[in-house]
Amino acid sequence: MGIDFSASRLSYEKDELIEKNIGNTPYPLFDRWIKDALAEQVKEPYAMSVATCGSDNRPSVRTVLMREVVERGDEVLLVFYTNYDSDKGQDLAQNPHAECLFFWADLERQVRISGAVQKLDEELSDAYFNSRPKDSQLAAWVSRPQSGVVDSRETMENDFVKLSAKFGENVPRPAFWGGYLLIADKIEFWQGRANRMHDRIVYKKENDKWVRERILP
């Protein structure tokens, strides 16, 4: 049993990534690529894989939704929301670094963004939590702790109903749920090219300045 993909081969020919067309800092290119993905109707182009590694030295990765990306001065900041007691939350408490990965197959593009991670200011987490639909707010409460074992679907649904009755219309943000801010110190852009001669451009922070380099495919 199994599936053999060894003969599956796509040639990537949609675009190129050439120094003369990009800037010395990474944000404008990321902005352009996200907008290209939206225009291409990639479903949830702001979904990213986030890799963390706690003190057990075992990397783990999962998808989350990037809720905001901003350029502040020379910094590129990514925001995502989750449960602070989840596996990723525990990893980040032990080792506050992560790498986020976007893969937009339709554009033959990948972006990797790594850096230090810190909890978002509580007021910002409150504001985002309050903007969510009530059902999502209740689901955040049900998931305590996220990634903990539950005996059945029914237990979750009963808890949801109980919490809904308890809170009424105003569901407060749980202290165990909120945002993280990733402060990028390395961003790699990958554009697939024919013959596996892909374009890869890395921006790295060195002495607080972005340095741009081409790296081998």
SS3 2: coil
Report in angstroms how near the CB of residue 132 gets to ligand FMN at its nearest: 11
Report in angstroms how near the CB of residue 185 gets to ligand FMN at its nearest: 22
Give the footprint of ligand FMN on residues 147-176 (CB under 6 A). Answer: 147
Nearer to ligand FMN, 84 or 210 (CB): 84
Return d(Cα 84, Cα 100) in angstroms, integer: 17
**Active-site choice (9, 32, 58, 196):** 196
End-to-end CA distance of the chain: 33
Give the footprint of ligand FMN on residues 186-215 (CB under 6 A). Answer: none
Q: Which residues are registered as beta bridge partners of 63?
A: 49
Among 146, 192, 193, 199, binds ligand FMN (CB under 6 A): 146
Return d(Cα 185, Cα 165) in angstroms, integer: 45
SS (H, E, C) 90-141: HHHHHCCEEEEEEEEHHHCEEEEEEEEEEECCHHHHHHHHHHCCHHHHHHHH
Report in angstroms how near the CB of residue 25 gets to ligand FMN at its nearest: 27
Among 87, 139, 164, 183, binds ligand FMN (CB under 6 A): 87
- Count the site residues for ligand FMN by CB under 6 A: 16
Mask 55-84, x = binds ligand FMN (CB under 6 A)? -----x-xxxx--------------xxxx-
Q: Is 110 in the site for ligand FMN (CB under 6 A)?
A: no
Give catalytic status of residue 196 as yes or no: yes
Which residue from 216, 214, 217, 215 is spatially nearest to 20, judged by alpha carbons? 214
Report in angstroms how near the CB of residue 91 gets to ligand FMN at its nearest: 8
Strand 109-119 with 199-206, pairing: unpaired
Active site residues: 196
